[in-house]
Structure 1
Amino acid sequence: MAGREAATTPAASERTTDRRHSSHRIWGGFDHFLLFVADAEPFPDWNGLEQAEFFNREIMGRSTQEIFEVRKEAIDFHWERFGIDFPYPETEADLFAPVDSQGDINATFAPSMLNPGRGYTAYVVSGKGMPNTHGDGMTNTDTNSTGKVRDGSWGASLNEATELGGTYGATGESAVPAGAAVTFGDYSIRMGDNEDPIEIRFFSEHPIVAAGRAPSAFNCDLHHEEWGAGQVHGTLGGTMGTALRNVLTFPPSLDG
């Protein structure tokens, strides 16, 4: 896509840090370890597209200009990693509007915020004493409680079966079915009234593909301002319904 600047998402070579060789690890050899669980009924009237603006302005505290920049960064990511070409926003009215792709790959780009009624909660954050908040037969749905995971994304869904491009397509495993999705966004973990939230950027390592009755697996690369590179491995859907199970580690692996 001519004229597009490189995305600011850390390149693979840049995401390796000296933390990988740290001697102080206690969480299975990792510097930081987090466990997110969601297992509750979504709020029925939630509109993730409409709530994307709330996530960006109120939870992430972004100005209009910063939202322009992060949307462009997400668009650049989808182009560079998967070869999906979306136009940049031109006006403020475009900031939270879905848009169809241009070029050979038929996809739709849209912002969203995960329904908090799903109970998405960080029950383990290494080095922190997290509360065991939950309801009757469900994970925590209180949006103001410590450990609540606020999840906002700029995702792309494939409208037809296709061959992806970008760095992912170059691996030789580029064929994906209609309905597959890739994503780019942020976790904001509420840590109470006297501590800043933990903010983690995530971006798809590979497409998320529905697996019928079996839960779908997904991997996302992660970046935290202080912790550096990480990775999340998760499952969702299938017989799990709207439930999620996510394990996050920093660094991504212990392979040296």
Structure 2
Amino acid sequence: MNAINLLKSVTLALALGLTASVAAAPPKPSPEGFDHYMVLMAAGTLDLSVSEPAPGVTGCNGLFCDGEYFQRVIMGRDDAELALFTEDAKDFFAARFGIDVDDPTLAGRISFGLFMTNPDWQYRMYTSSDTRTPSTGWPVRDGGYVLMVMDPEGVELGGEFEGSVAAAGSVMFYGNYNILIGKGRATEELVMLFKSSRPAQIQPDGSVALLCELEHEDWGSGFAAVSVANVPLAGNLVQGVGRNVLTFPRYPGAH
């Protein structure tokens, strides 16, 4: 083998090795005291003029889209399963925040409905203690129910927040993460339930910080700290800026 061919062989080998390491970085050890952890980020560009960014995904207005596609297609829920999920969500909001979403006196003071995150936000899992993760990450699909306070005077809370008032722009969530891991026939879905620990206040610039409890059928209870600080660009474009750290358990020694 001459020098040129040798150089080509070495370069190719290095390139293949680098590609392999980038394409499938090994799992990261969990921090001491934790069984599982993940880092999710979003850095896609949203076009506010696009209401249907992907086939079947409709009703998008910035970060959130209509949630029917998420429930029916991604989670695969039929009418009965979706009805049960809806009742669970209503029970959660009533128990934690003392809000009965069907209370006629709250009509116009709150909004309540299904949502899914806009796929153009490019929400992805980049680090995990449980799976090899490529540099491009694994797609994170999430959706469920969002409850938002619309009344300028706020809404008085009950449940675990008896005596508190949720200001206009406060949001509370109940839903699922569905992370698509792998490619082709080797894909699997990592599904978790999330539910707001407390009301989160959307700031005037649209940013928001969320604290959520997590549930996984095998890992038990966990915790997620989410921040969204999207940046307006020219025209109808918005640069996505999302960060989310998830751990199981919530803290060392928790059950």
Compute the TM-score of the two structures, normalised by the length of structure 1: 0.73
Q: What is the aligned partner in structure 1 of residue 122 from structure 2? A: 119
CA–CA distance in structure 1, aligned partners of residues 78 and 117 of structure 2: 21
Q: What is the one-letter code of the residue matched to 2:227?
A: T
The Cα of 1:75 is off from its aligned counterpart by: 1.1
Residue 143 of structure 2 corresponds to residue 187 of structure 1: no
Single out whichever of 195-204 and 35-44 deviates more from structure 2. 35-44
8 A contact 2:65–2:118 mirrored in 1: no
Amino acid of the structure 1 residue aligned with 2:51: D
- Structure 2 unmatched runs, 5+: 1-28, 53-58, 233-238
Contact 2:171 2:202 in 1 (8 A): no
Amino acid of the residue matched to residue 65 of structure 1?
A
What is the identity, as a one-letter code, of the residue corresponding to 1:31?
D
Alignment gaps of 5+ in structure 1: 1-24, 88-100, 134-145
Q: Any idea what the Cα deviations from partners look like across 1:105-149, whole Å, max 9, x if unmatched?
A: 82110101100100100001212111111xxxxxxxxxxxx6100
- In the alignment, structure 1 residue 151 sits paired with structure 2 residue 155: no
Per the TM alignment, residue 197 of structure 1 is displaced from its structure 2 partner at its CA by: 0.3
Structure number with greater Rg is: 2
Matched, 1:86 2:101: yes
Show the counterpart of 2:249. Answer: 251
Q: Verify the 8 A CA contact 1:235 1:244 in the aligned structure 2.
A: yes
Map 1:167-246 → 2, pairs under 5 A: 167-170=159-162, 174-192=164-182, 193-213=185-205, 215-237=207-229, 242-246=240-244
Q: 2: CA distance between counterparts of 1:205 and 1:234?
A: 12
In structure 2, give the amino acid aligned to 1:159: M
Q: Percent of aligned pairs with the same residue?
A: 30
3-state SS, counterpart of residue 148 of structure 2: strand
Structure with the higher fraction of residues in helix conformation:
2
Distance 1:104 1:228, change over 3 A: same
- 1:163/1:169 contact within 8 Å kept: no
CA distance in structure 1 between the aligned counterparts of 2:88 and 2:135, rounded to whole angstroms: 36
**Secondary structure of the structure 2 residue equivalent to 1:78:** helix
> Does the aligned pair in 2 maintain the 1:168–1:206 contact within 8 Å?
no
Change (3 A) 1:114 1:131: same
Q: Is the 8 A contact 1:82 1:164 kept in 2?
A: no
Alpha-carbon separation, structure 2, partners of 1:108 and 1:51: 14
Name which of 18, 34, 38 aligns with 1:34: 38
Cα gap change, 1:50 to 1:233, in 2 (>3 Å):
closer
Normalised TM-score (structure 2): 0.73
8 Å Cα contact 1:123/1:132 also seen in 2: yes
Q: 1:45 aligns with which of 51, 58, 82?
A: 51
Q: 1:41 to 1:62 in 2, by over 3 A?
A: same
Q: Which protein has the bigger strand share?
A: 2
* 8 Å CA contact 1:208, 1:216 repeated in 2: yes
- Where does residue 3 of structure 1 map in the other structure? none
Query: Is this contact kept in 2: 1:212–1:238, CA < 8 A?
Result: no
The residue that corresponds to 2:15 in the other structure is none
